[in-house]
Amino acid sequence: MSNSTNLTMDKPTPTSLLDTGAQGLIGEPLQRTEGPLKVSGNATYAAEYALEKVAYGVLVGSDFTLGKITKVDAESVKSLPGVIDVVTDFDSFARNPQQGGETKAPTQGVEDVAYRGEIVAIVVAESFEAARDAAHRVVVEHDAPKAEGRYDFETQRHKTDKPADDQIPAHFSQGDLAGAMAEAPHVLDVTYTTPSQNSAAMEPHATTAHWDEDGILNIYGAYQMPSSDKQQLAKALGVSASKVRIIARYIGGGFGSKLGIAPEAVAAAIAARQLGRPVKCVMARSQVFEATVRRSNTEQRMRLGADAQGKLTAIGHDSLVSNLDGEDFFEPCGMATHFLYAAENREINHDMVRLDWLLAGSMRAPGEAVGQLALECAMDELAEAIGIDPIELRHINEPDCDPETQVPFSSRQLTRCLDEGARKFGWDKRAAPGTTRDGEWLVGLGVAAAARGNMLQKSAAKVTINVLGKATVETDMTDIGTGTYTILGQIAGELLGIPLEDVEVKLGDTNSPPGAGSGGSWGAGSSGSSVYLACENLREQIAEKMGVAAEGLTLKDGHAIGDNRRVSLSELVGDRGLSAEGAIAPGKQEKDTRQSSYGAHFAEVGVNTTTGEVRVRRMLGVFAAGRILNEKTARSQCLGGMTFGIGAALTEDLIHDPRNGKLVNRDLAEYHVPVNADVPQLDVVFLEERDVHANPLHAKGIGELGISGAGAAIANAVYNACGVRVRDFPITLDKILDGLPAM
């Protein structure tokens, strides 16, 4: 019998072994298995490996925005006590991080500085203090820039190019949008803007690089996708991928910012190779802001046309986004607009404005997070214009299949989420805008739909049962706070009938089978399926040893039960143990069905009648994302997404100085992520669902569903509270004040 089981999702998987497992682990709100390590400070992050003779690297970023470097004045700092060297490599250093999942090197070459803060050198010293001091003193001389800087979106917004098609086509058109708009009795044509944002994961980007005696580069790195990061880094360094090992057992948050190899890894690896000793390099928080990745700012024109009853005949979603020269990624604002609502005439376009700002790339729910701010606020505005309830408007426009490709939805419970949420939240108490008052606060309710496309990525895992009857799961998949350690243990434990405490999950090491990595909400579905398949194979091996058919086998509490016998796994597998590999790959189901998770957000806010300050008073998210593998960690993912939504709606605004391209607010005191006092107790409800088209787990992605639409519910609640519609995010008090009713 082969000890590997592979599955390409060309067909639905009508049955799942998770429904017949006997261990009782799936779906339960179990505590994180790695929890005790994290709460006691014993989980080891990238900069926390005690390597012998490790040197400290501090990065030097350009303190000018454009121009060719003529000299990095290293000599003046090399004599400082403790300084070992100033290392730079104009050709090899990464200009900016790579995007997630790419196998090419990031854009390299730092001599011609492309944006302010670009990493141009690394100072290495015996201590962090010496390296930091020297890095601050390094003078980087440069020529005047050849061209005038493009620092201001407003002045550049008319010079666009059409980016290459990516996850979705850059441009899409169906029917006659202009004609439908001209004929529609109800039309909306409004423009929303969202600013650049930063993922602001709590752990700054960090790499400890160590070339061992076998010429292998060992990277302890804060990376979400080690399999592809390894290839990116190898190409950047000009070595074979087999010479690079990435270890990322714990990652202090990512949210997209750690998908691709970033400048610190390339710099640390080059310095370590040159100096012949390990180099540890942690970005300063200001460098995380300046030299990693931002979510693009967006300008989104929304056009909606509806008939007298509110049925949409036209949907137009035109987005302007920005990025550096030479970078293809465009913020796919219209991703969910493709399938969220029915309408015959549709245009969904993305155009690129080239700016000399840092890289734009993925941040939690690229596309949907900001795209649904626009779409879901526009739906609210349209409902108001027609004079119907916004939930009713969504009911009227619920499509029965994908409105563009006509393929069926794999599963979709959007309207149930809305109805269930309305009931639980007390939606019937919503009054006319500006009419509910609580002391000095105007109070309002808002709703928005949530949709996040479901994706499956290639992922592999190995599962072993040893002579003690204990299981080990190995894959280079990561847990960035998402709960991977726990859910992979649950899946293996359920299918093998082994208690969770006897399942060890080893993640984040590229010496293990390549996993999907953490991104795009595909982690649980993809890596979970690979573990499922490996365990399915093990079940067959166990059945064979038991002499029963796999279907007649029950595995529970470390025992195999079948044919009226109960035998311990320990005894069955013997001294040599059993192992199997599982691998999942996306297939025809991707095209044969439209796959997405859905939800509904409800928000109640207060707007201060004197100051215009907005406070979120309560929020509810109702979600349907296929099978929920762990109710506790899934709920936490949703809480996190909803809180990102609070930030996007009310506080987060990465400001680029239009005069010189400098980031104005490159720290956590000035870039405002929500703090504890900004977040009330949030409610999360999951609807029961199975998606047989998604994967054998019947689970869909959940990590980004919570952010999609969340900010729109808040914005719509602000309008309901005070009657002021702010279309320029974030909704800060200065944008509300003028429109408030007179005192």
Partner 1 sequence: MHFTINGQSHEVEPDIRTSLLDLLREHVGLTGSKKGCDHGQCGACTVLINGRRVNSCLTLAVMHQDDDITTIEGLGTPDNLSPMQAAFVKHDGYQCGYCTPGQICSAMGMLDEVKKGWGSHVSKDLTNPELTDEEISERMSGNICRCSAYPNIVDAIREVAGADA
Per CB under 8 A, residues contacting partner 1 are 31-32, 34-45, 47-48, 50, 127-130, 132-133, 199-204, 250-255, 282, 284-285, 480-483, 632-633, 635-637, 639-640, 642-644, 667-669, 673-682
The one catalytic residue in 34, 290, 540, 704 is 704
Q: Please list, in sequence order, all residues whose beta carbon lies within 8 angstroms of the beta carbon of residue 31, skipping any fewer than 6 positions away.
A: 486, 632
Order of strands, sheet of 578-586, starting from the edge strand that comes earlier in the sequence: 4-9, 578-586, 459-465, 471-474, 503-506
Shortest reach from residue 685's CB to partner 1, in Å: 14
In whole angstroms, give the CA distance from residue 261 to residue 103: 10
In whole angstroms, give the CA distance from residue 476 to residue 484: 11
Shortest reach from residue 23's CB to partner 1, in Å: 21
Q: Which of 301, 245, 305, 296 is nearest to 269 (CA)?
A: 245
Shortest reach from residue 236's CB to partner 1, in Å: 26
Kindly tell me which of 363 and 533 has the beta carbon lying closer to partner 1. 363
Shortest reach from residue 251's CB to partner 1, in Å: 6
What amino acid occupies position 649?
Answer: A
Kindly tell me which of 343 and 480 has the beta carbon lying closer to partner 1. 480
Q: Which of 428, 432, 491 is nearest to 459 (CA)?
A: 491
In whole angstroms, give the CA distance from residue 413 to residue 600: 10
Kindly tell me which of 36 and 426 has the beta carbon lying closer to partner 1. 36
Shortest reach from residue 637's CB to partner 1, in Å: 8
Kindly tell me which of 188 and 505 has the beta carbon lying closer to partner 1. 505
Query: How is residue 142 written in tokens?
Result: 């440069």
Q: Apex CA 265: angle with CA 235 and CA 79, to 5°?
A: 120
In whole angstroms, give the CA distance from residue 40 to residue 32: 14
Residue 102 annotated among the catalytic residues of the structure? no
Shortest reach from residue 250's CB to partner 1, in Å: 6
Q: Alpha helices, DSSP H only, in 387-522?
A: 390-396, 414-425, 484-496
What's the 3-state SS for 31-61?
Answer: CCCCHHHHHCCCCCCHHHCCCCCCEEEEEEE
Kindly tell me which of 204 and 334 has the beta carbon lying closer to partner 1. 204
Kindly tell me which of 181 and 500 has the beta carbon lying closer to partner 1. 500
Kindly tell me which of 77 and 348 has the beta carbon lying closer to partner 1. 77
Kindly tell me which of 51 and 467 has the beta carbon lying closer to partner 1. 51
| Strand ranges, E, within 331-423 | 345-354
Shortest reach from residue 674's CB to partner 1, in Å: 7
CA atoms within 13 A on the CB side of 391: 20
Shortest reach from residue 122's CB to partner 1, in Å: 17
Kindly tell me which of 93 and 425 has the beta carbon lying closer to partner 1. 425
Query: How is residue 131 written in tokens?
Result: 């390296």
Distances in whole angstroms, Cα of residue 596 to Cα of each of 315, 450, 627, 730: 20, 10, 13, 27
Instruction: Compute how many other C-beta atoms are within 10 angstroms of the C-beta atom of residue 652.
Output: 24
Query: How is residue 289 written in tokens?
Result: 């802001």
Looking only at the bridges linking them, the beta strands covering 298-306 and 312-323 are: antiparallel
Query: How is residue 290 written in tokens?
Result: 């300046």
In whole angstroms, give the CA distance from residue 639 to residue 621: 9
Tell me phi and psi for residue 364, to 5 degrees: -15, 120
What amino acid occupies position 485?
Answer: Y
In whole angstroms, give the CA distance from residue 263 to residue 250: 20
Shortest reach from residue 545's CB to partner 1, in Å: 35
Question: Among all residues, which ones are annotated catalytic?
Answer: 704
